[in-house]
């Protein structure tokens, strides 16, 4: 029986392409929502989930940061997927005849300048491939969609313009989520990331003090995100990606100091850095 990897979207979504590239031996399972994809893994109906966290052009995926504190899953890896947006239309369409373009809000944001240049009205859809599927069924030559080459092939659409994104090198970072906790053995020859969330205590300079332990122990923070993680509005939660393995002495000491000034500290996972980070640097 094939292992299953869940993703949000319909067939042809960028997330499906990421699944195929990162885990070619696994069977992709399409889900209507991010929450459904994560729930399938929590229930054991899928082995892992591929969930987009942020994009180099459009920033973070807000919904994921709202879901992370509520999930019962572990981060076991990351994946970077280069995004090539294509402007798709019904076969035989002239680009000058287009009046509308449909896609996911992230894709529309990543192609904003090109959309404005063509004078198109942006129509928000739940996902990129879903917009392509809807366009294919409509047969309307005044409408177009922004989606992947995979979607163009699946839904028999013409690619009017490849690399429709405003900024070349557009890349999406994904979290790989699992019901089972997996921490790779600490190897000094490899590079790791430890991701965690916490809420600061209600004391003066709490965030400054909470992060101070990382500085004094020489631990590099790769990412810091804040968001309202509670329903009481009494304090912000923070998500941090740390350059290091949870078993390293420096990181253990830093986390001990963090515990004095933060509450609800939860380690999401420790995993190897994706090779894309080396290429990008």
50 with 120, same domain?
A: no
Judge whether 115 and 134 are in contact, CB under 8 Å: no
8 with 79, same domain?
A: yes
What is the residue whose two structure tokens read 């004095």?
A: 260
Q: Is residue 184 one of the residues assigned to a domain? A: no
pLDDT value of position 35? 95
42 with 108, same domain?
A: no
- Last residue in a domain, options 152, 178, 204: 178
The whole-model pTM stands at: 0.86
Of the chain, the percentage scoring pLDDT greater than 90 comes to 74
pLDDT value of position 65? 85
- Last residue in a domain, options 150, 178, 206: 178
pLDDT value of position 147? 96
Read off the pLDDT of residues 123-142 as tens digits, 9 standing for 90 and up: 999 889 999 999 999 999 99
What secondary structure letter does DSSP report for 207?
H
Read off the pLDDT of residues 232-277 as tens digits, 9 standing for 90 and up: 556 678 999 999 999 999 999 999 999 988 888 999 999 999 999 8
Q: Is residue 233 one of the residues assigned to a domain? A: yes
Residue with more model confidence, 202 or 215: 215
pLDDT value of position 281? 56
Q: Is residue 183 one of the residues assigned to a domain? A: no
Judge whether 228 and 66 are in contact, CB under 8 Å: no
Q: Is residue 153 one of the residues assigned to a domain? A: yes
* Domain of 103, in residue numbers: 86-162
Q: At 235, which CATH number? A: 3.30.70.260
Contacts of 47 (CB under 8 A, 6+ apart): 3, 4, 5, 26, 41, 178
Read off the pLDDT of residues 13-72 as tens digits, 9 standing for 90 and up: 999 999 999 999 999 999 999 999 999 999 999 999 999 999 887 788 888 988 988 899
Categorize the per-residue pLDDT at 230 as very low, low, confident or very high, splitting at 50, 70 and 90.
low
The residues carrying an active-site annotation are 172, 174
Q: Is the dihedral of CA 220, 222, 228, 232 positive or negative?
A: negative
Q: At 77, which CATH number? A: 3.40.190.10
């Amino acid at each position: 029986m094939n292992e299953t990897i869940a993703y949000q979207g319909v067939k042809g979504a960028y997330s499906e392409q990421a699944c195929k590239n990162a885990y070619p031996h696994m069977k992709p399972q399409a889900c209507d929502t991010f929450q459904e994809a994560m729930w399938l893994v929590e229930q054991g109906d899928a082995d892992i989930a591929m969930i987009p966290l942020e994009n180099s052009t459009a920033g973070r995926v807000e919904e994921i940061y709202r879901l992370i504190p509520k999930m019962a899953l572990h981060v076991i890896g990351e994946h970077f997927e280069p995004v090539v947006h294509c402007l798709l239309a019904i076969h035989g369409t002239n680009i000058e005849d287009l009046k509308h373009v449909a896609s996911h809000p992230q894709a529309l944001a990543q192609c904003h300048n090109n959309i404005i240049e063509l004078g198109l009205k942006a129509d928000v859809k739940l996902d990129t491939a879903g917009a392509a599927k809807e366009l294919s069924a409509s047969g309307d030559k005044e409408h177009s969609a922004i989606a992947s080459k995979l979607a163009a092939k699946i839904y028999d659409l013409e690619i009017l313009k490849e690399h429709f994104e405003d900024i070349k090198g557009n890349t999406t970072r994904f979290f790989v989520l699992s019901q089972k906790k997996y921490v790779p053995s600490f190897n000094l020859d490899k590079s790791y990331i430890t991701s965690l969330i916490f809420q600061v205590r209600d004391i003066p300079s709490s965030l400054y003090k909470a992060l101070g332990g990382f500085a004094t122990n020489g631990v590099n923070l790769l990412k810091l995100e804040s968001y309202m993680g509670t329903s009481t509005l009494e304090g912000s939660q923070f998500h941090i990606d740390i350059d290091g393995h949870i078993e390293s002495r420096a990181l253990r000491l830093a986390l001990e100091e963090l515990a004095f000034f933060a509450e609800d500290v939860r380690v999401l996972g420790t995993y190897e850095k994706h090779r894309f980070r080396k290429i990008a640097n």
